[in-house]
Structure 1
Amino acid sequence: MDFPEDFLHYVWQFKSFDSNKLKTADGEELKIIHQGFLNKNAGPDFNNAKIQIGETVWAGNVEIHLKSSDWLKHNHQNDAGYENVILHIVYENDAVINRIDGSILPVLELKNRIAKDLIQKYEHLFLTLTDFPCVAQIQYVDKIIIDSFLSRTLIERFEQKTAIVLDCLNELKGNWDETFYWFLARNFGFKVNALPFELFAKAIPQQIYGKHKDNPLQIEALVFGSAGFLKDSFEDEYPVMLQKEFQFLQKKYSIKPLEVSIWKFMRMRPQNFPTIRLAQFAALIVKSNHLFSSILEVKDITELRKLFDDLPVNPYWKTHYHFKKKTADVGIQIGKTSVDNILLNTIALFLFAYGKHTGTQYYINRAIKLLESLPAEENGITSKFTQAGVKMDNAFASQAILQLKNHYCDVKKCLSCGIGIKILRQV
């Protein structure tokens, strides 16, 4: 018996056992009219079940354990919340259980009613040491089943992320523009410099930039100065000018620069250096006006991309990756892959979160449509599913796969997964 109680939940829910000539442990004939509904909260495992024992029809709850004695281990005998249990489902009946009033609780033992093939298939899924439990079987699952469950995991993923957005929104007293600015900045850092970018965004409120929109040099000074890159002595004219501007702005707004040591450069392509990303971010601030409002209005993905095209990045960065390091000419615009990342992880998320918060399905639908318009992500997780035969046509699918892997596969929740359930039922 190498399976958890959840396996018996599955067996009961889908009636995956021999249900011919059912009898209770006391020998009374038993008929299942309705198994009830799985309860994911506290209390008995299934609610609103309906069964017939002998000539009597009972309506109430069902409790499931591996052994009858688990009822006592869990102290249900002293819990009034279990008085409405009409049937005790167990794999092995090893004890007589009495209700609080002294009456014997009817029990159905499943030990000899579950096919060995089903148990073996579940054990194979649950005990697998491969990249994910159904890596060998998922290619045989109907695409409709997979797509249906991926739709669920995608919504789960975005609802979880939305909760984080709304927590931040609450912290900022309902200011969507500032909340969006924080998340966008973090996205500009991608994985490696996400935290420094977030701290940088929080160091200077977006409204301060708004006061200097007509002066790109001051915007750039605020960005590089607050990020901690203007503390050295410089020879080039551009950083010297930034330093002078920042000395004035720092006093005016009481800015405390970050420690430059928090920014990571190692093992990165120079085009992804934080200095280049900061230069692009400063250019986006210069170019954009009420960016979040624009995103709510712009419907077409081509138009959304244009918000990040042709940024007025200072020409200095065409020949520099760092203030003290000159190099050959380089591209200073945000690459298509990076723009896709921003559209996916910030724009689509905020459309979804805004729709949820305001109760406007229109924005949720736009978020979904945007995901369907973006290419699928390519990473270590998605490649494993692709190799196993799962087709990912767009970012909707790849985001759903990430949720599936992290919240179902990795924690062995095969019995809560539509794909896993389908595989188990193919016995």
Structure 2
Amino acid sequence: MDFQENFLQSVWKYQYFDKNGLQTTEGTPLSIIKIGYHNFYEGPDFLEAQIHLGNFDYYGHVEIHRKSSDWKNHDHDSDDRYNSVVLHVVWDDDKPILRKDGTSIPTLVLKGKVLLDVIRNYERLLNGEGELLCAAGLDFIPDIIRFSTLEKALVERLESKAKLILDLLEQSNTDWEETCFRWLMNAFGFKTNSESMLNLSQMIQFKTLKKHSGNSLIIQALMLGQAGLIPASVSDDYGQMLKREYDFYHKKYNLGSPMHFSEWKFMGVRPGNFPTLRIVQVAEIIAKNPSLLSGVLHETSSFLNFKKFFSIQIPEYWQYHYQVDKPSTGNLSKSLSNQTINLLLINFVVPLWFAYGKYIQDSTWQEKCFDLLQEMVPEENFIIRKFKTHNWEPKSAFDTQGMIGQFHSYCKLKKCLDCKVGQNLLKPAKK
């Protein structure tokens, strides 16, 4: 049988083996009183377990391996943390092992004891086709398990984004307003240009831009110029105004060298998503909302409020140009589309709320995130279609964000036994 170590961890965690007449490799009778709690960090696999061995109770940790020799292969024999292991659980006992202090460790061999149903279910799961190995069994998964799976993946996804935001907060000397601006720029990069947008936000401070609130031309000039997106030679009037404003304020604010045009991705990007247009949209947002952080935290409690907050009118020039001095072949959008606003709400506002709640240690912000996502319509992309193909229909953005997190963190990495769906499919049939 071919399996990963995490299979044995699941077998131990859920006690999917025959416990009648258990004994160690030395023939000592063994009873399991407490399996311990699963440790997902460095150190033994299960902590604070309790076993009855011979005539005595032992309290300590449990370590699990495919082979006994993995103890030494993983250098546990030289690690003090493993001196408290009271039971070594293995599939094959191929070599006697010792703790760092030289004492032997009681060993339980699981080969021949794991429930046959569990082995078959595991093999069936691993032999699944496509990127969703559990697809064939999804119809048998209760709704409560599906919801719990997506909720866990969503929280992990938000935790990951919150860490990025809190890292930005640290980099900006705990300036939440500056952090909000940088995260907004990251969101307006829409993956393709996120890194470049974030770099730009670190080259020109929000407090500098907000000095010119109400005058989007100057904000456009500062941002486009510092982005390296205003050509050295411009022929049309609007482009020349941008260049003059940038040259003046670049010197006034001592901004330093601008970015290079080559740092931006245009190839393969639809014109409506060109970085020039996205930067102009951010400039309009800042011109309209100089108190950006306050607005995001307190004026966007619903989708309608958020749409109103980010209701901007794109300057006429940018309705006919996708780059400075380069007219477009067709008319471009005059405002942010509902789809763009939806994406901003999901990728900008919700993670910012979540991170802010963690920072001030107020869990109500997490609940606000969940409530807002449940109000929103589900997203549509290639990941969501994978789930829908197998009759897992999302009802809201709460579900789709969970699906995206689930796919990237579990399905794509084939971490089925860390997933509640996989765990549910592993368990033996009821008798």
TM-score between both structures, scaled by the size of structure 2:
0.91
Helix, strand or coil at the partner of 1:203: coil
**1:75 deviation in Å?**
4.8
Q: How has the CA–CA distance of structure 1 residues 290 and 116 changed in structure 2, closer, same or farther, with 3 Å as cutoff?
A: same
- Confirm whether residue 407 of structure 1 aligns to residue 409 of structure 2: yes
Amino acid of the structure 1 residue aligned with 2:404: L
Please give the alpha-carbon distance, in whole angstroms, between the structure 2 residues aligned to 1:265 and 1:85: 57
Counterpart of 1:121?
A: 121
Residues 172 and 17 (structure 1), Cα distance of their counterparts in 2 relative to 1, 3 Å cut: same
1:15 equivalent in structure 2: 15
> Hey, what's the Cα distance between the residues in 1 that align with 2:193 and 2:245?
25
Partner of 1:388: 390
- Taking a change above 3 Å as real, the CA distance of residues 305 and 23 of structure 1, as seen in their structure-2 partners, is same
**What's 1:336 paired with?**
338
- 1:417 aligns with 419
User: CA 1:108–1:289 in 2, change beyond 3 Å: closer, same or farther?
Assistant: same
Q: Which amino acid aligns with 1:377?
A: E
2:365 to 349, 352, 363: 363
1:325 corresponding residue in structure 2: 327
**Quick check: 1:284–1:312 contact (8 Å CA) kept in 2?**
no
Cα offset, 1:103, TM superposition: 6.2
Shift of 1:265: 2.6
Q: Secondary structure at the match of 1:316?
A: helix
2:231 paired residue number: 231
Higher mean alpha-carbon deviation, 290-299 vs 274-283, is at 274-283
Question: 2: distance between equivalents of 1:393 and 1:28?
Answer: 54
Task: Specify the SS of the correspondent of 1:89.
Answer: strand
Do the aligned partners of residues 106 and 318 (structure 1) sit closer, same or farther apart at CA in structure 2, a change above 3 Å counting? closer
SS in 2 for 1:91: strand
User: Structure 1 residues 80, 223: closer, same or farther in 2, change over 3 A?
Assistant: closer
- Indicate how the Cα distance of structure 1 residues 37 and 252 shifts in structure 2: closer, same or farther if over 3 A, else same: same
Once the two structures are superposed, what CA deviation does each residue of 1:66-108 show, in whole Å capped at 9, x if it has no partner?
2334334445455554343333322223344456777654332
What letter matches 1:386 in structure 2? K
Contact 1:276–1:332 (CA under 8 A) maintained in structure 2: no
Offset of residue 112 of structure 1: 1.1
What secondary structure does 2:248 align onto? Answer: helix
CA distance in structure 2 between the aligned counterparts of 1:43 and 1:329, rounded to whole angstroms = 60
Structure 2 counterpart of 1:94: 94
* TM-aligned CA distance change 1:426 to 1:381, over 3 Å: farther
Mapping of residues 18-417 of structure 1, within 5 Å: 18-77=18-77, 79-97=79-97, 105-126=105-126, 128=128, 130-255=130-255, 256-298=257-299, 299-309=301-311, 311-322=312-323, 323-417=325-419
Change (3 A) 1:87 1:283: closer
Superposed CA offset, 1:94-145 (max 9, x none): 3444567776543322211113442233234345552122122223211101
Distance across 1 between alignment mates of 2:237 and 2:245:
12
Per the alignment, do residues 11 and 202 of structure 1 end up closer, same or farther by CA in structure 2, a change over 3 Å counting? same
Query: Measured at CA, do residues 110 and 346 of structure 1 come closer, stay the same or move farther in structure 2, by a change above 3 Å?
Result: same
Rate the CA distance shift 1:109–1:287 in 2: closer, same or farther, 3 A.
Answer: same
1:372 CA displacement: 1.7
Partner secondary structure for residue 137 of structure 1: helix
Per-residue CA deviation, residues 380-402 of structure 1 (Å, 9 max, x unaligned), is 22211121222211222222222
The 2-side partners of 1:101 and 1:263 are apart by 58
Amino acid aligned to 1:294? G
Please give the alpha-carbon distance, in whole angstroms, between the structure 2 residues aligned to 1:201 and 1:160.
21
Could you list the per-position Cα deviations for residues 280-334 of structure 1 after superposition, in whole angstroms to 9, with x for gaps in the alignment? 222112111201101211222211111111x132112233333232544442211
Q: Call closer, same or farther: CA 1:230–1:60 in 2, change over 3 Å.
A: closer
Q: CA 1:115 to 1:231, structure 2 compared with 1: closer, same or farther past 3 Å? A: same
Tell me which moved more, 346-355 or 227-236: 227-236
Deviates more, 1:244-253 or 1:267-276: 267-276
**Separation of aligned partners in 2, 1:278 and 1:78:** 55
2:51 and 2:244 map into 1 onto residues whose CA distance is 82
Q: Distance in 2 between matches of 1:207 and 1:19?
A: 66
The answer to whether the 8 A contact 2:117-2:428 is kept is no
Q: Structure 2 vs 1, CA of residues 259 and 18 (structure 1 numbering), >3 Å: closer, same or farther?
A: same
Is the contact made by 2:410 and 2:419 (CA closer than 8 Å) also made in structure 1? Answer: yes
Q: Distance in 1 between matches of 2:283 and 2:99?
A: 70
Q: Tell me how far apart the structure 2 counterparts of residues 101 and 223 of structure 1 sit (CA, whole Å).
A: 63
Note closer, same or farther for the CA distance 1:53–1:131 as it changes in structure 2 (3 Å cut). Answer: same
| Amino acid of the structure 1 residue aligned with 2:367 | N
Give the AA of the match of 2:150: L
> Quick one: which amino acid aligns to residue 265 of structure 2?
K
Q: Is the 8 A contact 1:372 1:395 kept in 2?
A: yes
Gaps of 5+ in 2: none
* 3-state DSSP of counterpart to 2:294: helix
The CA RMSD measured in Å over matched residues stands at 2.4
Secondary structure of the residue that 1:192 maps to in structure 2? Answer: coil
Deviates more, 1:179-188 or 1:190-199: 190-199
The total of aligned residue pairs comes to: 426
